[in-house]
A and B are shown apart, each in its own frame.
Chain A
Amino acid sequence: MSLRNFDAGKGLERLVLMERIRAFEEAARHAAVEEELVLGAIHLSIGQEAVAVGLLESLAREDYITSTHRGHGHTLVKGADPAAMMKELLGREGGCCGGKGGSMHIADFGVGMLGANGVVAANITIAAGAAHGVKLLGGDQVVVCIFGDGAANRGPFLEGINWAGVFDLPILFVCEDNRYSATTRTADMTSGDVGARAGALGLNVTRVDGNDVEEMAAASGEIIARIRAGGKPEFMHARTYRLDGHTYFDPATYRPEGEAERMRAETCPIARQRDLLGAAGIAAERMDAIARAARDEMFAALEAAKAAPWPADDTVFEDVQDVGSPALEAF
Chain B
Amino acid sequence: MAVMSYGEAAKLAIAEAMRDDQRVWCVGEDLGRGGVFKQYAGLREEFGPDRISDAPISEAAIMGAAFGAAMVGTRPIVEMRFADFALCATDELINQIAKARFMFGGQSRAPMVIRKPMGMWRSSAAQHSQSLEAWYAHIPGLVVVCPSTPQDNYAMMKAAIACDDPVVYLEHKNIWALEGEVDTAAPGEFGKARLRRQGADVTIVSWSDCANLAESTGATLAERGINAEVIDLVSLWPWDKRAVIESVKKTGRLIVAHESVAVGGFGAEVVASVAQEVAMRVPPRRLGAPRSLVAYAPNLEDQLRVTEEMIARAAQEMMEAEAA
Contacts and interface: CB of A to CB of B under 8 A. Distances in A.
A36 to B, nearest CB: 23
A137 B74 contact: yes
Contact of B63 (A115, A125, A321): A125
Interface of B: 23, 25, 50-51, 55-56, 58, 60-61, 63-74, 91-92, 95-96, 100-108, 140-143, 163-165, 190-191, 237-238
Contacts of A64: 72
Given A156-B61, A319-B101, A324-B190, A126 B71 contact: yes
Interface string A122-156: 10111111111110110101000000000000011
Contact of A318 (B23, B65, B106, B141): B106
30 contacts: A97-B105, A99-B105, A100-B104, A107-B103, A114-B68, A114-B71, A115-B104, A119-B96, A122-B91, A122-B95, A125-B68, A126-B96, A128-B64, A129-B66, A129-B68, A132-B65, A133-B69, A133-B72, A137-B73, A137-B74, A156-B61, A163-B55, A319-B102, A320-B102, A320-B141, A321-B101, A323-B163, A323-B238, A324-B143, A324-B191
A317 to B, nearest CB: 10
Contacts of A162: 56, 58, 61
Contact of B64 (A134, A156, A323): A156
B73 A324 contact: no
A109 B104 contact: yes
Contact of A95 (B66, B73, B105, B238): B105
B140 A97 contact: no
Contacts of A279: none
A221 interface: no
B108 A321 contact: no
A287 to B, nearest CB: 36
A133 B141 contact: no
A321 B58 contact: no
A137 B56 contact: no
A321 B191 contact: no
Contact of A319 (B50, B51, B70, B105): B105
B304 to A, nearest CB: 29
A317 B3 CA distance: 42
B56 A159 contact: yes
Nearest to B190: A323
A66 B61 CA distance: 15
Contacts of A105: 103-104
Contacts of A155: 60
Kindly name the residue among A100, A126, A128, A141 whose own CB sees the greatest number of chain B CB atoms within 10 A.
A126
Interface of A: 64, 66, 95-101, 105, 107-110, 114-115, 117-119, 122, 124-134, 136-137, 139, 141, 155-156, 158-160, 162-163, 166, 318-324, 326, 329
Kindly name the residue among B63, B69, B73, B96 whose own CB sees the greatest number of chain A CB atoms within 10 A.
B69
A158 B59 CA distance: 12
Contacts of B103: 97, 100-101, 105, 107, 115
Kindly name the residue among B61, B101, B102, B140 whose own CB sees the greatest number of chain A CB atoms within 10 A.
B61
A139 B232 CA distance: 44
Nearest to B163: A323
Given A97-B105, A109-B107, 5 more contacts: A110-B107, A122-B91, A125-B68, A136-B51, A323-B238
A160 B64 contact: yes
Contacts of B72: 64, 114, 130, 133-134, 137, 139, 141
The list of the 5 closest CB pairs from A to B, nearest first, reads A129-B68, A125-B64, A129-B65, A133-B69, A324-B238
B60 A156 contact: yes
